A and B are shown apart, each in its own frame.
Chain A
């Protein structure tokens, strides 16, 4: 059953020569040529010859990896196409090495009926450069009152259900959602947040918020709701996914739940893995997100949890905002930053190059694991697989700038920063989705 859609295009015929193929699931980490014919990986080996229409890509000193899958994108479509649409979002995703991305339901209108979902699928067939899918809302209008028709939405291809941006405010609602979602065979993704502790919050609560005088969002605000959610999931034996985990306290809760056999998966964003609350000091609204950048001790715990697999996957929480929305005083700015185009570069530079994480583990967390959670076949660079891969020059340095980004918005915390590693080629669903070859 379809749960992703994209526009059609010619199947790729390519010989990717001499790159370091890193596909830990297939047990490959070696310099290999990769022959792609009619959109499929047909052969790996040394000194392969291109087929007759095949373009040859010189990938010496480059990485060839399974393409990435993002479980947490805000496409802003429908409703805020001035910030992003499926064409720009998927261009950004492809430029970041992604081969699939899933959008959250907090659009206008909300994705809470099969009609809206089918409309998005139709738009994706016309515009999306890579396969995209969609979460449907848990409650109608994200109002937290009445469940959506999860049976029909699941049948129409919703990847899962989430009121992301809003928590499921009560234990009773969480319980009903985790019970009823079983009719769809999907899972619920939870934005964990105790609203009574969130009120007016601007940044992580701690010494930095004390010094800056910004209302704090305590780590407790997240971990309390994670705890309640997982207690309900255990009681109901339901599958649940925790969005954008940001605190060490939440990790402790998830660890206990996993040990008890609760069917929980969890994601973490590139910004929570690489930045901390000290970055707020300059009051730049591009560093304002929810959950907020946390303490350095939280950040370190997140990196370790991603390494160990306690956190299953990386997800961007790509959240475009119009320039005029972010060009306001910090306290008045909306939460969120973009991330699709920079995710791999940021994590490669900050974690892999610093030996906090090995490349194979990063590939699993960005590709294999999120694909499995979404119910997709895991992207692979092994023979027989549909070509869902990216070619990255790990030594290329590039500066994040508003004009160079594929996204329609440029609210990135890395704006003006120089990053390592640039995606040179992305093949998604057997087609060339992004190409930046010399």
Chain B
């Protein structure tokens, strides 16, 4: 079986995506047991390479691998040979000597997963590369939607609001949401909206006037560095919050709020929404574990054999 990478959400067909979500669902009972571990990937080796800061993604990949009984190895740029100037190619060759089954990587540069994949026999899973893609975030978002809003997401209207220009999550989510039949609208200040993005089949808006049409509001983090002098993406956080921040007053009943985290309270999301039980934010984090277990499992056993049998679990 040739190795299978997951670099872009486009590497998956709709059937693959649904299989991952079904597989994740079948792992949920495991996570409710006292002994939250299955022997499924015993003897397999999974390496987590995080060249950029991460809490949710790195911890959930690590835990997902452990729940499946795989051996794991976690490496960060600081304290590794990267600090001595080792190239990614050489890091890939070095780690490949341990014959890992999967290397999960987050990297600041788009294209890093391709470089890694070209230099290892291991399957590469992209845990975020530059502003390019974050496919596992998209899959966990889809899982949270399916668990909370119903299995059929067809026709659901999602507004993705915030810094689209710099967001790898937005790009993966647009593709993944559309794959499952959702309608996507992007809302951002014009300075943070990529030119030509409407060719992805999304609606582009610069204000929240049509927010009432949304079933789901997917908020993106506004990073402080967009405010650096001379960058001129935004005049101030205050104005961003005023024009694009989501508080209870802007929501109608039934609208659900999502956010990939970490959140900026008082900027893109008001505390009343952040603390509300109705939002899916905590569920997204919860989903990360089951979905990443499913991704690791499918990457190793393949996408062709239907749902996970009870025996395997």
| Partner-B contacts on A (CB < 8 A) | 202, 205-216, 218, 282-285, 324, 327-333
Q: How far is the CA of A333 from the CA of B114 in the complex (A)?
A: 13
Distance, CA A330 to CA B235, complexed state (A): 31
Number of cross-chain contacts by CB at 8 Å: 82
Residues from chain A with a CB closer than 8 A to the CB of B131 are 213-215
A207–B111 Cα distance when bound, in Å, is 18
Give CA–CA (A332, B114) in the complex, Å.
Answer: 13
Select one of A207, A213, A218, A332 contacting B171, CB under 8 A: A213
Q: Which residues of A contact B34 (CB under 8 A)?
A: none
Q: CB < 8 Å: which of B88, B197, B200 contacts A328?
A: B88
Q: Are A331 and B110 closer than 8 Å at their CB atoms?
A: yes
A252 to B84, CA, bound (A): 49
Is the beta-carbon distance between A329 and B194 smaller than 8 angstroms? Answer: no
Cβ A206 vs Cβ B195 within 8 A: yes
Contact A331 to B196, CB < 8 A, known contacts A211-B171, A213-B130, A213-B171: no
A-B contact pairs, 27 of them (CB 8 A): A202-B110, A206-B195, A207-B200, A208-B196, A209-B194, A209-B196, A210-B195, A210-B196, A211-B199, A211-B200, A213-B110, A213-B166, A213-B167, A216-B195, A218-B195, A283-B132, A285-B111, A327-B115, A328-B88, A329-B88, A329-B107, A329-B110, A329-B111, A329-B129, A330-B110, A330-B111, A331-B110
B37-79: contact bitstring with A at CB < 8 Å (1 yes, 0 no)?
0000000000000000000000000000000000000000000
Residues of chain B at interface, number, CB under 8 A: 26
> Cβ of A329 and Cβ of B109 under 8 Å apart?
yes
Closest Cβ–Cβ distance, residue B278 to chain A (whole Å):
31
Q: Are B200 and A329 in contact (CB under 8 A)?
A: no
* Most chain B beta carbons < 10 A, residue from A213, A284, A328: A213
- Per the bound structure, the CA–CA distance linking A285 and B107 in Å amounts to 16
Contact B168 A213 (CB under 8 A): yes
Report the nearest A residue to B166, measured CB to CB. Answer: A213
A213, B133: Cβ atoms under 8 Å?
Answer: yes
Contacts of A330 in B (CB 8 A): 109-111, 114
A40 to B89, CA, bound (A): 52
Report how far A207 CA is from B194 CA in the complex, Å: 8
Output the nearest chain A residue to B172 by Cβ-Cβ distance: A213
In the assembled complex, the Cα of A325 lies from the Cα of B30 at a distance in Å of 47
Are A207's CB and B197's CB within 8 A?
yes
In the complex, B87 has a CB within 8 A of chain A: yes
Proximity bits, B85-115, A CB within 8 Å = 1, else 0: 0011100000000000000000111111011
Which residues of chain A have C-beta atoms less than 8 A from B167's C-beta?
Answer: 213
Asked whether A283 lies within 8 Å of B111 as measured between CB atoms, the reply is yes
- Which residues from B are CB-within-8-Å of A202? 110
Q: Which 8 A-B pairs have the closest CB atoms?
A: A330-B111, A207-B196, A213-B131, A210-B194, A207-B199, A331-B109, A283-B111, A329-B111
Is the Cβ of B196 less than 8 Å from the Cβ of A329? Answer: no
Q: What residues on B are CB-neighbors of A329 within 8 Å? A: 88, 107, 109-112, 114-115, 129
Contact with A along B177-203 (1 / 0, CB 8 A): 000000000000000001111011000
Q: B115 touches which one: A205, A206, A208, A328 (CB < 8 A)?
A: A328
- Cα distance A205–B165 when bound, in Å? 12
B89 touches A213 (CB 8 A): no
CB distance from A77 to the nearest CB of B (A): 25
Contacts of A285 in B (CB 8 A): 111
Taken together as a complex, chains A and B put the C-alpha atoms of A331 and B194 apart, in Å, by 18
Contact between chains at A210 and B87 (CB < 8 Å)? no
User: How distant is B204 from chain A, measured CB to nearest CB, in Å?
Assistant: 10
How many whole Å from A115's CB to the nearest CB in chain B? 35
Specify the chain B residue showing the minimal Cβ separation from A205.
Answer: B195
Report the minimum CB–CB distance from A325 to chain B (whole Å): 10
CB distance from B5 to the nearest CB of A (A): 12
Within 8 A of A (CB), among B137-159: none
Q: For A283, what are the chain B residues with a Cβ–Cβ distance below 8 Å?
A: 110-111, 114, 132
In the bound complex, CA of A437 to CA of B139 (Å): 58
Please measure, in the bound complex, the distance between the C-alpha atom of A284 and the C-alpha atom of B130, giving whole angstroms: 15
A215 and B107 CA atoms in complex are apart in Å by: 16
Measured CB to CB, the nearest residue on chain A to B199 is A207
Which of chain A's residues has its CB closest to B170's CB?
A: A213
Contact A216 B110 (CB under 8 A): no
* Nearest CB in chain B: distance from A232 CB, A: 27
How far does the alpha carbon of A210 sit from the alpha carbon of B197 in the complex, in Å? 5
Q: Which residues of B contact A211 (CB under 8 A)?
A: 171, 197, 199-200
